[in-house]
Amino acid sequence: MIVGATEVVLRIAGARTLKDKRSVVSSLVARTRARFQLAVAEVGDLDRPQDARIGLAAVGNEWRHVETTLNAAVRYIGGNFPVEIVDVQTERL
């Protein structure tokens, strides 16, 4: 069993309040989870309206498949939501 975890640091365009941030992050989490069948959660920067940290986790038989899925999810996030990806870190566990 191979487990991969990715942390994505985001800057949310136009978010001035935590309510603005919550609407973007909740949609991002739900849609990414459904599309890629990953565990997805907000894992940091909870008190900062323009910043978010999202954790993604995948399990599979081969690292190549797990890594490809996580990378596709990160590209999806960057291309489909009003966010800028500041940093991405992926680990094989």
pLDDT bracket for residue 13 (50, 70, 90): confident
Residue at 90: amino acid letter:
T
> pLDDT value at position 27?
95
pLDDT 10s digits, 21-80: 999 999 999 999 999 999 999 998 889 999 999 999 999 999 999 999 999 999 999 999
CA distance 17 to 50: 8
| pTM of the full structure | 0.91
> pLDDT value at position 38?
95
Domain 2-92 belongs in CATH node 2.40.30.10: no
Q: Could you tell me the two tokens for 86?
A: 């500041």
Q: Give the start-to-end residue ranges of the domains of the chain.
A: 2-92
Q: Following CA atoms 67, 13, 54, 76 in sequence, which dihedral angle do they give, to the nearest 10 degrees? A: -30
> pLDDT value at position 46?
86
Averaged pLDDT, 70-91: 96
> pLDDT value at position 86?
96
